Amino acid sequence: MQIGFIGLGHMGGPMAANLLKAGHALTVFDLSEAALDEAKTAGATLASSPRAVAETSEVVITMLPAAAHVKAVYLNDDGVLAGVRPGVPLIDSSTIDPATARMIGETARARGNPFADAPVSGGVVGAQAGTLTFMVGADEALFETLKPVLAGMGKNMVRCGETGTGQIAKICNNLLLAISMIGVAEAMKLGEVLGIDPNKLASIVNTSTGRCWSSDTCNPYPNILPNAPASRGYAGGFGADLMLKDLGLAVDAARQAKQPVFMGALAQQLYQSMSQQGLGSLDFSGIIKLYGAK
């Protein structure tokens, strides 16, 4: 298939590489010369603008840092919508606010192009391994059409509902994730200072009502789980600054919807404080350092 791919960063780069490996033909665009060089070496055709990418593609995929970039890439004069042929489906895998996703979707549909928001989980590791999970906002028919394309980059594709629901699913999940990670950090640190063996506490929690992904798969206390970031100085994993970005999207969306999120707002401030202390590039489980952990 002839695929257009825009945004070749830490995530987009390996995703595009996997599509090439899967046998697709790729036309790509990015602002970074280095990223373009790498893609060319891997077999991609370079284009001079998002519009140029779109003109020759049977499907267009975007993977961008934030809503402002997505708006520009789709809506500018040299953007995707200015060049894409009617009927060509568009996929945005960036993590952005649901309202912008819906707006782009409506604009695209008005021009005859189906649009899906399809943010991912799995991080850079999953992007490289081709094991990402896609949370897809699209109607049934579009979802079925896109599945084979997404299969070149990931293992799981979940249809969340109509346009925008992919973003909603992602930010709601990450809101909960941020909160439960801090909950685990507080519980583990409290247990330690009160005098229970942290390994014992983790094993009890993990078979009890406190169990969660943050306790049984990514425990923030060092040396509970050998493969967790906490056991290698919080290197790798899901960076605190990225979690902070997602929390910002969740808390902002809540505000737009006039919905209080007490814990989410506190989590955001705690990650902001972690970032202010220069720890924003650590895995987000490093939040335990705010509680006096070494």
Binders of a second copy among 181-210, rule CB under 8 A?
182-184, 186-191, 193-197, 200-201, 204-205, 207-210
Q: Name 89's Cβ contacts closer than 8 Å, sequence gap at least 6.
A: 59, 60, 113, 114, 115, 116, 142, 145, 146
Q: State the residue for tokens 């780069």.
A: 13
Distance CA 269, CA 32 (A): 33
What residues between 46 and 105 interact with a second copy by CB under 8 A? 98
Nearer to a second copy, 52 or 249 (CB): 249
Please say if 170 is a catalytic residue. Answer: yes
Q: State the residue for tokens 């373009």.
A: 36
- Count of residues that interact with a second copy, criterion CB under 8 A: 76
Nearer to a second copy, 110 or 194 (CB): 194
Mark 266-285 with x for binding to a second copy (rule: CB under 8 A) and - for no binding. Answer: xxxxx-xx-xxx--------
Residues 139, 142, 147, 153, CA torsion sign: negative
Distance CA 67, CA 99 (A): 10
Distance CA 150, CA 17 (A): 13
CB of 253 to a second copy, least distance (A): 6
What residues between 159 and 178 interact with a second copy by CB under 8 A? 160-161, 164-165, 168-169, 171-177
Q: Cβ distance 149 to 59 under 8 Å? A: yes
CB of 35 to a second copy, least distance (A): 26
CB of 270 to a second copy, least distance (A): 6
Nearer to a second copy, 47 or 184 (CB): 184
Indicate the DSSP class of residue 286.
Answer: G
What residues between 210 and 269 interact with a second copy by CB under 8 A? 210-215, 217-218, 248, 250, 253-255, 257-269
Mark 26-45 with x for binding to a second copy (rule: CB under 8 A) and - for no binding. Answer: --------------------
Q: Which helix (H) or strand (E) holds 103?
A: helix 98-110
Residues 64, 68, 69, 72, CA torsion sign: positive
Nearer to a second copy, 36 or 254 (CB): 254
Nearer to a second copy, 29 or 271 (CB): 271
Q: Name 156's Cβ contacts closer than 8 Å, sequence gap at least 6.
A: 132, 133, 134
Extract the tokens encoding 292: 């006096």
Catalytic residue, candidates 155, 170, 289, 294? 170
Mark 102-141 with x for binding to a second copy (rule: CB under 8 A) and - for no binding. Answer: -------------------x-----------x-x------
Nearer to a second copy, 1 or 69 (CB): 69
CB of 39 to a second copy, least distance (A): 30
- The count of residues in the chain is 294
Measured in degrees and rounded to the nearest 5, phi and psi for residue 29 equal -145, 140
Distance between alpha carbon 153 and the CA centroid of its chain, in Å? Answer: 13
CB of 88 to a second copy, least distance (A): 26
Instruction: Tell me the catalytic residues.
Output: 170
